[in-house]
Structure formats: C-alpha cells, structure tokens
Amino acid sequence: MEDSNLKGIKGWLLIVLIGLIVSIISVAVSLNDSMPLFKPDAWHAITTYGSEAYHPLFGPWVIYEALFNVFIIIFSICLLFMMFRKSHRFPKFMIFYFISAVFLQGIDYILSYKVLTDLPKVSETLNVYPSLDGVMRALVQTAVWVPYFIKSKRVKATFLSESPKIILEKGPLDKDL
C-alpha cells in the first residue's frame, strides 16, 4: 500500500519545479542578450571571411546557442505542464532533459572554446570566455537528479502509481459488443 503523504509535488520535487522555472527565465534572458549578434552589421562581421571577427564556426555557434536556448525554454515549459498534470511520462522526460543537457552543453563548450580561443579580441569585446561551468552543472544535475527520478518513492507515488486508463463507451454502431 502506498503512502498518500508521498503523493504530490512536495519535498525534493519542489526544487525540480523551481529549477524549471528559473531555467526558463535565465535562458530567456540569455537568449535576449544574444539577439544583437543577429543584427545585420554584427552578423555580417562574424560571417564574412576576412573580417576581424570572422571564424568559420562563429555563425554556426551563434545559431546553435539560439536553437539550444529555444529548445530548453520549450522543453522546460512542456515539462512543467507534464509535472502539473502528474503525467506518467514526466519522470522519463525529466531524465532525458538532464542527460541531453550534458551533451548539448558539451557541444556548446567545444564550439565556444574553438571560436573564442581563436578570436581573443572578440572574446574580450563580448566579455565571453570559454567555460566548462555549463557542462559541469549539467553533469552534477544529472548525477543527482537521474537517480532521484529512478528511485524516489515520491516520484513513483505522484507520477507512476496509476496507469492511464482508456475508457471505451459503446456507441450506436456497437450493438453487438
């Protein structure tokens, strides 16, 4: 028999909830901060061969960052909906979220390292330097939260205790059933 005190978005799940909300806000701010790079003059400077800010990976890195941030925002919003609906899919999607963040942050670090170490003046001007912070944060989050979502009694009681049931009703064409 399951403990009804374990059901609900309480305990450590509140930290996950807060983390998703903070993630949406911080990533939206980051996305907004990168928008000036898409203005014609800036975009021309970073994508035109021979310009002082040109690097063959700079344009792709900026696009990757923008798409990565949009993905995080949309996926986090979807996770919040699943969480509040207490969807049985929520734990699996949360685990996917954490694991994919490690890989996506790793790609981001590799691109930023290559571009910013080859263009130290651009790095200084933008005040952006290659950092493993995002990768390390994603690794720690994955190491902490994936086992939690796999083993937690609260997660099982809140999201996995009742399997979805499909109720079929007889209609006017189902006389023989």
Question: Is pLDDT at 172 greater than 60 in this prediction?
Answer: no
User: Is 10 in a helix, a strand, or coil?
Assistant: coil
Question: Is pLDDT at 51 greater than 60 in this prediction?
Answer: yes
> pLDDT value at position 4?
66
Contact 31, 20 (CB under 8 A): no
When pLDDT is cut at 50, 70 and 90, the band that residue 161 belongs to is confident
Report the distance separating Cα 151 and Cα 144, nearest Å. Answer: 11
Place of tokens 């995002």: 134
Question: Is pLDDT at 165 greater than 90 in this prediction?
Answer: no
Give pTM, 2 decimals.
Answer: 0.82
Counting residues of the chain whose pLDDT is more than 90, the rounded percentage is 71
Question: C-alpha angle 82/84/85, rounded to 5°?
Answer: 60
* Ranges of H-type helices in the chain: 12-34, 40-47, 58-84, 90-118, 120-126, 133-151, 153-155
**Tens of pLDDT, residues 94-151:** 999 999 999 999 999 999 999 988 888 887 877 777 889 999 999 999 999 999 999 9
Report the distance separating Cα 169 and Cα 73, nearest Å. Answer: 39
Residues in the chain: 177
Report the distance separating Cα 102 and Cα 134, nearest Å. Answer: 8
Q: Which two tokens stand for residue 17?
A: 């909830």
